[in-house]
């Protein structure tokens, strides 16, 4: 059976497609509405086997899941590696779709990893929980800001306690009534965000697809629920990493490397990374040495070599990646080694 190659340029409301055969002849092209009925009618009308390719965007996930049963192979491209599209002089949806089809048929399509649908669904929940945490932090900062604007005195450490906050509101004098109302509103929002993020976190920890995996990851001293969940859902399938260096690069814990004419040069930390994992690992690396003797030894060794505290923290984060990857791949709890005195 003839194999056709279909480039799909995905947008919010439309999907432009271009279908070519192995020789590059255009078999069909057009524009579809980006909804399930229209895509379903189009896919069912294709009588030959086809391989599809699309760029990774905000809208790619549901289209990928919907079209996957119809295609022989469906692939997603990394946007930063689509130089043939981004560097072209003339650019429109029809040309982009044709370029994707050409990359497919010439076997030059720059694939990116698409996690299973169930992992992406749970990852969406975790990222939403992180959004609620950030919003709760904003409410806390706003509470402090409102009090400072009117010159009110308060105990910074106790400010967000329910009993203290209620007492503080009753004792505020020479403060405009509008500020009191805003403080109450901010407090209500803070409680809503905190309660919601707690419910989401509790549901994720006991989810059947995550429970055992998260428990194994938490066998590493210094790894808590949030770190374990972030690793499990952002990494997806640990077997896709052949080495620790690949995993560390994905987490954004190594600098960009340029090698030319036998000379190599390191730059700052690469921006091509999973930002969610990077920030979580760095925050965990700041605290983990307090509970993990092995990580504390790594941090101490880097400082003894003359590294500044930030580079020592990065070294701890890379070691933490090694531990997490080993536990995740082996499916066994972490077994620490003895640390030399």
pLDDT number for residue 13: 94
What tokens does 125 get?
């929940």
pLDDT tens column, 185-234: 999 999 999 999 999 999 999 999 999 999 999 999 999 999 999 999 99
Determine the pLDDT at residue 86.
Answer: 66
> Residue 93 above 60 pLDDT?
yes
Q: What tokens appear for 67 in the block?
A: 């079209």
How far apart are alpha carbons 278 and 298 in whole angstroms? 19
Whether 334 shows a pLDDT value over 90: the answer reads yes
Look up tokens 């972490």; give the residue.
334
Give residue 337's pLDDT band: very low, low, confident or very high (50, 70, 90). Answer: confident
DSSP letters spanning 30-92: EEEESSHHHHHHHHHT--SEEEEEEE--TTHHHHHHHHTTTSSEEEEE-GGG-HHHHT-SS--
Query: CATH 3.30.420.40: does it fit domain 3-105?
Result: yes
């Amino acid at each position: 059976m003839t194999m056709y190659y279909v480039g799909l340029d995905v947008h919010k409301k439309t999907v432009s497609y271009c279908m070519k055969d192995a020789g590059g002849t255009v078999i069909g092209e057009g524009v579809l509405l980006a909804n399930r009925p229209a895509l379903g009618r189009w896919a069912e009308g294709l009588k030959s086997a086809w391989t599809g390719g699309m760029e990774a965007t905000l809208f790619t996930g549901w289209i990928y899941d919907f079209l996957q049963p119809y295609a022989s192979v469906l692939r997603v491209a990394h946007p930063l590696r689509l130089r043939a599209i981004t560097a072209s002089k003339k650019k429109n949806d029809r040309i982009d779709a044709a370029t994707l089809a050409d990359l497919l048929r010439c076997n030059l399509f720059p694939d990116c990893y698409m996690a299973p649908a169930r992992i992406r669904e749970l990852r969406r929940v975790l990222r939403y929980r992180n959004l609620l945490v950030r919003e709760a932090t904003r409410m806390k900062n706003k509470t402090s800001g409102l009090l400072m604007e009117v010159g009110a005195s308060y105990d910074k450490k106790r400010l967000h306690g329910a009993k203290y906050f209620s007492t503080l509101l009753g004792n505020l004098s020479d403060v405009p009534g509008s500020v009191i109302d805003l403080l109450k509103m901010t407090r209500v929002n803070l409680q809503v965000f905190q309660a919601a993020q707690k419910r989401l976190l509790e549901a994720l920890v006991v989810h059947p697809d995550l429970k055992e995996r998260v428990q194994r990851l938490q066998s590493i001293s210094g790894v808590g629920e949030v770190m374990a969940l972030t690793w499990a859902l952002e990494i997806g399938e640990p077997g896709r990493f052949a080495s620790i260096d690949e995993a560390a690069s994905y987490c954004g814990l190594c600098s960009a490397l340029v090698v030319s004419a036998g000379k190599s040069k390191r730059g700052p930390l690469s921006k091509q990374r999973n930002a969610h994992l990077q920030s979580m690992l760095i925050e965990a690396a700041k605290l983990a040495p307090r509970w993990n003797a092995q990580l504390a030894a790594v941090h101490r060794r880097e400082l003894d070599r003359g590294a500044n505290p930030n580079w020592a923290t990065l070294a701890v984060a890379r070691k933490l990646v090694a531990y997490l990857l080993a536990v995740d791949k082996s499916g066994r709890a972490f077994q620490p080694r003895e640390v030399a005195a």
